[in-house]
Amino acid sequence: MGSVSECSSACQATDVHFVKLDKTCFKWFHGATQSEAVDMDFSTMHLCLVCHAEPDVWDGGYASIDKVLPRFVVALEGIRDHLGTTPRIAWCLTGEVAKNRPRQFKSLLEFGHEIGVHSHFPGETGTLEHSQNLNFANLGRFDLWFPELCRQIVDAGFPPPRTHASWMFAYRDAMTGVLAGAGISVDCSVCYGGAHYLPGGSLLADSIGRSDGKPYRPTETDHCSEGDGPLVEIPVSGGFGSYWEPNRKGGFDYFSPIASDHEKQRQLMLSDERLGSLSPGEVDIFQVHFHLYEFLEPSGISEARLNRAAAMLRSMACDDRVRFSTPTDAARDWLSRIEVQNRRVSDPADHS
Ligand SMILES: [Zn+2]
């Protein structure tokens, strides 16, 4: 929280009260309680965990859901943010997972988790759901099959998904309108600061136009430019098994945060930097993405990897600005904070 002092212009108007926070000047309404004012000053970083829940990449099976999921949930149980909230996960399901393992995910809803959608091209079973050729070939026809994928999730007994993560972080500008039309309000697909390609050189997404991982509302014609489009974008800002740190030259440096203590520290440094960039009253959202199979080694579940993931979250949650939230809840808070700030800055008298 920044230092608070009154502006020299304080109380020249009768219906507003001016408060200065560091270099930013905010206007409060007369009559706002101290706690409302404090709440407005206080910056927040929502920590959102987004799981790409898909069949195992090596055989199209469900060993990671059957074996890792229960252990993963237990590993997170003792972790709390300063409000006492446990980590909330957006389980973004592929069509195959929704059809074949619904029970495992339904049971998590009552603990505050969220069910989203992970847009592997539907209609193919097993390893074919991972086929790069098939998925890439269908990117341009997203409008034809994405609504059907959402329907598959609802047909499997889940609430309509609100959060989306794309296959291989692929993004086409036309997807924004398709996602919104299918009821999605939060997208978690953008790897900011660079362009990434399939090993063969096919472009998955070009997000060079975004310089940081803070949330924004992409326009419907350019997913990198900020506007008042229908979605909130929560860019990928971290990971467990994999993260691609923007190298400021349009590419990414890869590392695996849970593979070693050194890499875990590297991820924590990035979240610390992000916390350091918060301005008073700002709401930020930090997305950590992962796959359950990142915790499976040929010999079985890796306790060391589970422990590193838990340690990372515990460490991030030490800062009392950090909250564990689902993407939907985080985006709602971000939007409402912006609305209040715009209202206060534009014409406070309208709302007295
Ligand atoms: Zn995937």
Same domain, 303 and 169: yes
pLDDT for the residue 296: 95
CA of 130 to the centre of ligand 1 (A): 7
| Claim to verify: residue 159 and residue 284 sit in the same structural domain | yes
Question: Do 116 and 207 have their domain in common?
Answer: yes
d(CA 123, CA 282): 42
Q: How far apart are CA 81 and CA 235, in angstroms?
A: 22
In a domain, 227, yes or no: yes
Q: What is the DSSP letter of 85?
A: P
C-alpha–C-alpha distance, residues 238 and 230, integer Å: 24
Give the type of residue at 282. Answer: E
Query: Phi/psi of residue 34, each to 5°?
Result: -55, -40
Give the pairing of strands 300-301 and 296-297.
antiparallel
- How many A from CA of 119 to the centre of ligand 1? 7
Task: Report the chain (352 residues): mean pLDDT per 10 consecutive residues.
Answer: 41 40 44 50 92 94 96 95 96 97 96 97 80 94 97 97 98 98 98 94 96 97 96 98 95 97 98 95 96 95 97 97 98 90 63 43
Same domain, 84 and 156: yes
CA–centroid distance, 313 to ligand 1, in Å, is 23
- Asked if residue 182 is part of any domain, the answer here is yes
Q: Domain limits at 12?
A: 4-38
Where do the H-state alpha helices sit in the chain? Answer: 34-41, 63, 69-76, 95-100, 102-109, 132-137, 142-155, 175-181, 261-276, 303-316, 327-346
Quick one: 187 and 244 in the same domain? yes
- For the chain, the domain total comes to 2
Q: Residue 198 in contact with residue 132, Cβ under 8 Å?
A: yes
Q: How many CB atoms lie within 10 A of CB 115?
A: 27
The β-bridge relationship of strands 252-255 and 243-246 is antiparallel
* pLDDT tens string 89-101: 999 999 999 999 9
pLDDT at 1: 38
Q: In angstroms, rounded to a whole number, what is the distance separating the alpha carbons of residues 332 and 291?
A: 25
Span from the CA of 100 to the centroid of ligand 1 (angstroms):
16
Q: Which residues are bridge partners to 205 per DSSP?
A: 196
The pLDDT value recorded for residue 102 is: 98
DSSP bridge partners of 259: none
**252, part of any domain:** yes
- Cα 54 to ligand 1 centroid, rounded to whole Å: 6
Based on the fold, state whether residues 76 and 181 are members of the same structural domain: yes
Between vectors from CA 210 to CA 204 and to CA 212, what angle results, nearest 5°?
115
pLDDT at 23: 40
- Residue 351 forms part of a structural domain: no
Q: Report d(CA 249, CA 195) in Å as an integer.
A: 10
247 Cα–ligand 1 center, Å: 23
